[in-house]
Amino acid sequence: MKTPILQMRGITKTFPGVKALQDVTLDVNRGEVHAICGENGAGKSTLMKVLSGVYAHNTFDGEILFENEPCTFSSISDSEKRGIVIIHQELALSPYLSIAENIYLGNEQATNGWVDWRKTNLEAAKLLARVGLDENPVTPVQHISVGKQQLVEIAKALSKEVKLLILDEPTAALNDEDSGHLLDLILHLKGQGVTSIIISHKLNEIRKVADAVTIIRDGKTIETLRLDEGQITQERIIRGMVGRDLESLYPEREPNIGEEVLRIEDWSVRHPQDHARMVVRNANLHVRKGEVVGLAGLMGAGRTELAMSVFGRTYGTATSGKVYKYGEEINTATVSDAIRHGIAYATEDRKHYGLNLIEDIKRNISLASLRKLAKRGFVDKNQETVVANGYRTSMNIKAPSVAAITGKLSGGNQQKVVLSKWMFSDPDVLILDEPTRGIDVGAKFEIYTIIARLAAEGKAVIVISSELPELLGICDRIYTLAAGHITGEVPIAEATQESLMHYMTKEKE
């Protein structure tokens, strides 16, 4: 009873010098959830742009059949007319407009050029009910969370009478709860006959929703796995994506844990705008030499806020509490104080907060420690190059030279530049916030190896991560946060995903 809704045959798309897609085949059946997997740069997004008309029909080879009719799209609006709607990773909502206005943006409910507000808001409310979003349609989009904004995007797609919904990394910015809700919604829509294509890195999500998985590697289709044939397993997907078996996702390490390096006592942080709101409440934690400590928590639990407030009060106001290093109280009121006391913080958002993307590798690596390279206020450029070359080798940064612009590097290599920057500041404590976000499987392993090496060198490492298996794979001890409280401290031997999740949701029970 399976009928194909979409057939893409022999899709080849060439950019100058690069074959982005080579003879790619994709078959999607009506009413299924079809996942597309592949490492970053494998060609997933390019394929979706071919499908949705971002790349006009005459700029690639191959044919697309949608509902058994050939498609020749020249733009997104052509594909939307046929009921193919793509929701991009970066949400395309206008923050100051209301939910209803956003839903009907470009498709205004108007008579003779005048917007019919009653109809707009009424219809929007119906769509919101369909996606399970309990918000007033006149609320400005900036006032709702990212998870809810994602639902608004889907409501917008539904308003266009979508037959095939394409979601590009829909849960990348969502917490587990919102992700779960979104995945349920996808399944719910499936029940209503909407076919979905979902691009995702998160294999557990794929296993939850996908009826079929197509794996793309280096611009080629590797295989399509089908649930009803029992082919969708984590091992099989990973093998397809990287082209080899990963014997272990995490490097082996022998922890060699020494004295306590950093202790945070009674740490409280208020929200920067809403002063009545406590984001972190009376947190106590410590980390020892050679130890990797995890901070687990759902989105909004206060992990990043805790780390950034310790690192030079870069988040929040009116913090109370004390920071001790080797038993002595230290002042970390500014970033340069924190750096001077040997604390480094690698941000979760390396593109907006971690790197100067228009600058080259060496200048990014030296940025936090220019004084170390300077004599009388002038930077020793030779020394800078020597240092950067050293990190390029030791961190295995793949770039033609240290004069390469960081904006052109892959996510994994950018992360290595960020880590190099902080290693050069010679910290005793490294706080790594989501160190593998947006990085493909192969590069993740490299980052884990670097973390293990840092610990072996005697650094104290704090890792903040939303991926529990990752924390379980690399940490010696894990703290859990919920609603600003530290709710648990679990040695790795006792930690399981279930036990951590139990502590992470403790507040709500």
Partner 1 sequence: MSALRESLGFLTSRLRQVGIFVALILIVLLFQGLTGGILLEPQNVTNLVVQNSYILILAIGMVMVIIAGHIDLSVGSVAGFIGAVAGVMIVHWGWPWWAAIPACLLVGALVGAWQGYWIAYVGIPAFIVTLAGMLIFRGLTLITLKNQQITPFPAELRALGGGFLPDISGGTSVLEWLTVILGVGATVALLIQALKERRIRRKFDLESEPMVWFVIKTAFTALLMLIITFLLASYRGTPIVLVVLAALVIAYTALMNNSVFGRHTYAIGGNLHAAELSGIKTKAVTFRLFVNMGVLAALAGLVFTARLNSAQPAGGTGFELDSIAAAFIGGAAVTGGIGTVAGAMIGGLIMGVLNNGMSILGLGTDYQQLIKGLVLLVAVGFDIFNKNRSGGGSDLGKRFRLKTTPPPAEEKLTPVASETVEAGAK
Which residues of this protein are in contact with partner 1, per CB under 8 A?
15-18, 20, 40-41, 44-45, 49, 55, 89-90, 311-312, 314, 334-336, 338-339, 345, 347, 351-359, 363, 366-368, 370-371, 374, 377-379, 381-382, 385-386, 389, 398-405, 407-411, 413-414, 421, 438, 440
Helix axes 411-424, 381-394, angle to 10 degrees: 120
Cβ proximity to partner 1: between 441 and 478 the closer is 441
Cβ proximity to partner 1: between 89 and 142 the closer is 89
Q: Is 227 left (phi over 0), alpha (psi -120 to 50) or beta?
A: alpha
Shortest separation between residue 291's beta carbon and partner 1, angstroms: 24
Cβ proximity to partner 1: between 127 and 222 the closer is 222
Cβ proximity to partner 1: between 136 and 142 the closer is 142
Cβ proximity to partner 1: between 60 and 104 the closer is 60
Shortest separation between residue 387's beta carbon and partner 1, angstroms: 11
Shortest separation between residue 154's beta carbon and partner 1, angstroms: 21
Helix axes 146-159, 176-191, angle to 10 degrees: 20
Separation in Å, CA 267 to CA 284, 315, 325, 454:
7, 13, 15, 26
List, in sequence order, the alpha helices (H) in 216-276: 234-242
Shortest separation between residue 376's beta carbon and partner 1, angstroms: 9
CA-atom Rg of the chain in angstroms: 25
Cβ proximity to partner 1: between 7 and 385 the closer is 385
* Alpha-carbon gap, residue 472 to 489, rounded angstroms: 13
According to DSSP, residue 368 is labeled: G
According to DSSP, residue 356 is labeled: -
Shortest separation between residue 424's beta carbon and partner 1, angstroms: 11
Q: What is residue 459's three-state secondary structure?
A: coil
Cβ proximity to partner 1: between 461 and 490 the closer is 461
End-to-end Cα, the chain, rounded Å = 44
Cβ proximity to partner 1: between 18 and 129 the closer is 18
Bridge partners, 61 (sequence order): 12
Shortest separation between residue 188's beta carbon and partner 1, angstroms: 28
Residue 253 CB partners (closer than 8 Å, separation 6+): 452, 455, 456
- Reference 327, options 426, 261, 258; nearest CA is 261
Token code pair at residue 503: 């502590």
Shortest separation between residue 134's beta carbon and partner 1, angstroms: 29
Shortest separation between residue 361's beta carbon and partner 1, angstroms: 11
Specify whether the CB–CB gap between 125 and 154 falls below 8 A: no
Shortest separation between residue 84's beta carbon and partner 1, angstroms: 19
Cβ proximity to partner 1: between 196 and 413 the closer is 413
In this structure, which long-range contacts are made by residues 350-356, counting pairs with CB atoms below 8 Å and at least 24 apart in sequence?
350/411, 350/414, 350/415, 350/418, 351/414, 354/414, 354/418, 355/406, 355/407, 355/414, 355/417, 355/418, 356/406
Cβ proximity to partner 1: between 44 and 477 the closer is 44
What is the H or E stretch that residue 375 is in?
strand 374-375
Shortest separation between residue 29's beta carbon and partner 1, angstroms: 26
* Alpha-carbon gap, residue 348 to 304, rounded angstroms: 8
Shortest separation between residue 41's beta carbon and partner 1, angstroms: 4
Shortest separation between residue 48's beta carbon and partner 1, angstroms: 10
Cβ proximity to partner 1: between 100 and 308 the closer is 308
3-state SS of 164-185? EEEEECCCCCCCHHHHHHHHHH
Token code pair at residue 202: 């998160």
Specify whether the CB–CB gap between 345 and 308 falls below 8 A: yes
In total, the chain counts a number of residues equal to 509
Shortest separation between residue 16's beta carbon and partner 1, angstroms: 5
Cβ proximity to partner 1: between 289 and 392 the closer is 392
Cβ proximity to partner 1: between 379 and 501 the closer is 379
Residue with tokens 């972190």: 280
Specify whether the CB–CB gap between 246 and 238 falls below 8 A: yes
